[in-house]
């Protein structure tokens, strides 16, 4: 059979089909894992923005369980924010943040208490800012200063001020040496908070 003229063609066809099947299977497996990891990253970021005391060194599975037990998904009634429930009552909202950073898209969440005025936390699950500079937005020293801040009315709910400046109750310090990232994060936060408040009002919520 190997002497036949058609044998090499058949052999290459079978070999190509075999290895293509393996590659397709691996790609599908990898895609499922990537999507699962992305979902877990989003869930972790939601929890970190909300006033929840998370276990130290919690596994992804444990965080996923807490997320399913405590958080409901975005809806028109919540202004497309995730909602933390205490019994049947809203305890806080996790408002999605998304916009162009200095290098690439930045995505995260800002937590807002049920009074819709106090910040409970902020987190980022996707960013490609400069290590040691703009990438410091994911570190506790930057993120922790948002907790307890009050969001102002108007189109600038939260303001950024240079490090060392005196702060009002609706202001935080920008990252030293990362002016572009700080400016863009401030813009993302303010635009998305303003959009969230507008969404609540359009659904009959006064926002107070």
Residues in Cβ contact with 168 at an 8 Å cutoff, skipping those fewer than 6 apart: 159
Q: Is residue 24 pLDDT above 90, yes or no?
A: no
C-alpha 151/C-alpha 85 separation (Å) is 21
C-beta of residue 112 within 8 angstroms of C-beta of residue 101 = no
Q: Is residue 30 pLDDT above 50, yes or no?
A: yes
C-alpha 132/C-alpha 129 separation (Å) is 9
C-alpha 207/C-alpha 204 separation (Å) is 9
Q: Is residue 127 pLDDT above 90, yes or no?
A: yes
Q: pLDDT digit string (tens) for 167-198?
A: 999 999 999 999 999 999 999 999 999 999 98
Confidence class of residue 34 from pLDDT cuts 50, 70 and 90?
A: low
CA distances from 200 to 108, 121, 124 (A): 20, 20, 23
Which one has a higher pLDDT value, 119 or 15?
119
Is the pTM above the cut of 0.75? Answer: yes
Residue 10 burial (CB < 10 Å; 0-12/13-18/19+)? Answer: exposed
pLDDT, mean of residues 150-161: 91
Q: What percent of the chain has pLDDT over 90?
A: 66
Q: Is residue 120 pLDDT above 70, yes or no?
A: yes
Q: Is residue 208 pLDDT above 60, yes or no?
A: no
């Amino acid at each position: 059979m190997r002497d036949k003229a058609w044998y090499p063609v058949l052999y290459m066809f079978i070999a190509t089909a075999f290895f293509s099947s393996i590659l397709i299977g691996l790609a599908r497996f990898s895609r499922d894992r990537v999507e699962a990891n992305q979902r877990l990253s989003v869930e972790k970021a939601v929890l970190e923005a909300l006033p929840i005391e998370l276990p130290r060194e919690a596994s992804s599975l444990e965080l996923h369980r807490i997320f399913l037990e405590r958080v409901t998904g975005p809806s028109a009634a919540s202004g497309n924010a995730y909602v933390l429930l205490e019994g049947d009552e809203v305890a806080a909202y996790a408002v999605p943040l998304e916009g162009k950073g200095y290098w690439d898209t930045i995505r995260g969440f800002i937590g807002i208490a049920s009074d819709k005025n106090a910040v409970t936390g902020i987190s980022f699950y996707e960013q490609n800012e400069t290590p040691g500079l703009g990438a410091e937005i994911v570190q506790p020293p930057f993120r922790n200063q948002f907790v307890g801040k009050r969001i102002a009315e108007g189109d600038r709910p939260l303001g950024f001020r240079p490090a060392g400046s005196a702060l009002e109750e609706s202001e935080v310090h920008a990252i030293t040496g990362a002016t572009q990232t700080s400016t863009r994060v401030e813009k993302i936060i303010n635009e998305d908070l303003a959009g969230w408040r507008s969404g609540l009002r359009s659904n009959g919520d006064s926002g107070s």
